């Protein structure tokens, strides 16, 4: 979140009135400086959450039409966010990796990322994963998104997602997935002390928690 420092110009008044007749100028009040953004909380894109300088970073590759990704998102991420991301211990990054065999994954990805541009990424991503059994059959991603967005927000997201246009971040995520030799979704990457550890497949929260605690203890 950006903060802007409001600069209040001071007006210098000149007058030919004798000094003794001039009205004394009121004492200037100190203007408190606006708080500067702290580097530790500055995020670079809407798919990131947590402190930028957290000791552990977790990247999660997901496909919106992947049932295992849905399970990870709905059952593991809430606890991960509550215990580690929101407390500054972990920075979380979502990476999109739409699979070719899934007919509507690109459409879902386009809607989620379009929503991210208006600050509604988490809301729409959550809705898309929750309603996966519904739209994965019909392809009607728009209908489920329309249940959580309305008016100008919905129209803007529809316009941006039209034609299943994927933003540059998706290409970057896919390229990184290829570098990570991605085999499946979900895939979890844990980064600590410069070491990148790629773990294919989902896992129960209890196991992920033990991984994180070991990294934090090192």
Residue closest to 102 by CA, chosen among 76, 141, 149, 156: 141
Q: For the sheet with 48-49, list strands across it.
A: 48-49, 90-96, 56-62, 187-192, 195-200
Provide the pLDDT for residue 63.
Answer: 98
Residues with Cβ within 8 Å of 15's Cβ and at least 6 positions away in sequence, in order, are 22
What's the CA gap between 137 and 161, in Å, rounded? 19
What's the CA gap between 115 and 121, in Å, rounded? 5
Domain 55-210 in CATH 3.40.640.10: no
β-bridge partners, 14:
none
Provide the pLDDT for residue 44.
Answer: 59
Domain residue spans of the chain:
55-210
Provide the pLDDT for residue 163.
Answer: 84
Q: How far is CA 122 from CA 41, 45, 118, 168, in A?
A: 18, 12, 11, 19
* CA 95 centroid distance within chain: 10
Full pLDDT tens readout for the chain, 218 residues: 333 333 333 333 233 333 333 444 444 444 344 344 343 444 458 999 999 999 999 999 999 999 999 999 999 999 999 999 999 999 999 999 999 999 999 999 999 999 999 999 999 999 999 999 999 999 999 999 999 999 999 999 999 999 888 889 999 999 999 999 998 999 999 999 999 999 999 999 999 999 999 999 99
What's the CA gap between 30 and 34, in Å, rounded? 12
Contact 94, 125 (CB under 8 A): yes
pTM: predicted TM-score of the whole model, two decimal places: 0.79
Q: How far is CA 184 from CA 63, 83, 94, 99, 125, in A?
A: 10, 26, 15, 9, 20
Contact 89, 212 (CB under 8 A): yes
Q: How far is CA 200 from CA 27, 36, 57, 203, 217, in A?
A: 66, 40, 16, 9, 23
């Amino acid at each position: 979140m950006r903060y802007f420092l409001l600069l209040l110009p001071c007006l210098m008044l000149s007058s030919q009135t004798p000094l003794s007749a001039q009205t004394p100028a009121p004492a200037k009040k100190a203007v408190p400086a606006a708080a500067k953004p702290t580097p530790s909380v500055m995020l670079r894109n809407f798919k990131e959450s947590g402190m930028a300088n957290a000791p552990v970073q977790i990247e999660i590759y997901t496909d919106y039409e992947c049932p295992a990704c849905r399970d990870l998102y709905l059952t593991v991420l809430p606890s991960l966010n509550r215990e580690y991301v929101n407390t500054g211990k972990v920075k979380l990054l979502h990476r999109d990796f739409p699979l070719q065999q899934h007919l509507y994954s690109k459409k879902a990805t386009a809607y989620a990322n379009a929503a991210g541009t208006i600050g509604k990424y988490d809301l729409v991503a959550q809705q898309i994963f929750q309603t996966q059994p519904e739209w994965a059959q019909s392809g009607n991603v728009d209908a489920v998104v329309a249940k959580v967005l309305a008016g100008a927000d919905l129209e803007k997201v529809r316009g941006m997602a039209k034609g299943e246009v994927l933003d540059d971040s998706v290409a970057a995520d896919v390229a990184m997935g290829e570098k990570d030799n991605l085999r499946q979704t979900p895939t979890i990457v844990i980064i600590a002390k410069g070491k990148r550890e790629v773990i294919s497949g989902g896992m129960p929260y209890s196991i992920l928690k033990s991984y994180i605690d070991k990294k934090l203890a090192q």
